Amino acid sequence: MSYASPIKPHSISAASLIAAGLLILGCVALDRSVQAAEPRYDRAIVAYGDLNLDSELGAKALYARLRNGAADVCSSFEGRDLAFKKLWQNCFDGALASAVAQINRTGLTTLHNETLSRSKGYR
């Protein structure tokens, strides 16, 4: 006896991959915080008014907060499947890069670029 399953396989279209990559690209710096501009997606607000962004320590603290915020926003793409890992990484990279660009502080941008340079050797 065989049974039919009502579960349909999920396929990830190019449009959803692009949408995931653009998840945070609309970040807006507002009142010394960063949030996603697109309301239908998850968003994170990262406050940094307590940090001195002119110091290396302040830039590192903000970068850690931005990484955590990007990970939170992209958590819906977590999964064991390679396609989900790729979606998550694209979302995370795009969210972090967008937030760094929106804040537009030299120390933060330099730290981000250095981190990218180091990580390219490991990917």
User: Each residue of 75-94: pLDDT tens digit?
Assistant: 878 777 888 888 888 999 99
Identify how many contiguous H helices and E strands the chain contains and give both numbers. 4, 3
Q: How far apart, in whole angstroms, are the C-alpha atoms of residue 18 and residue 62?
A: 27
Question: Could you tell me the pTM of the whole model?
Answer: 0.63
33-35/46-47 β-pairing: antiparallel
31 three-class SS: coil
Percent of the chain with pLDDT over 70: 63
Average pLDDT over residues 47-66: 95
Q: In what order do the strands lie in the sheet with 46-47?
A: 28-29, 33-35, 46-47
Cα-Cα-Cα-Cα dihedral sign, residues 67, 39, 11, 2: positive
**Does the pLDDT value for residue 99 go beyond 70?**
yes
Instruction: Please report, for the chain, the start and end positions of each structural domain, with discontinuous segments joined by +.
Output: 32-120
pLDDT band at 41 (very low <50, low <70, confident <90, very high): low
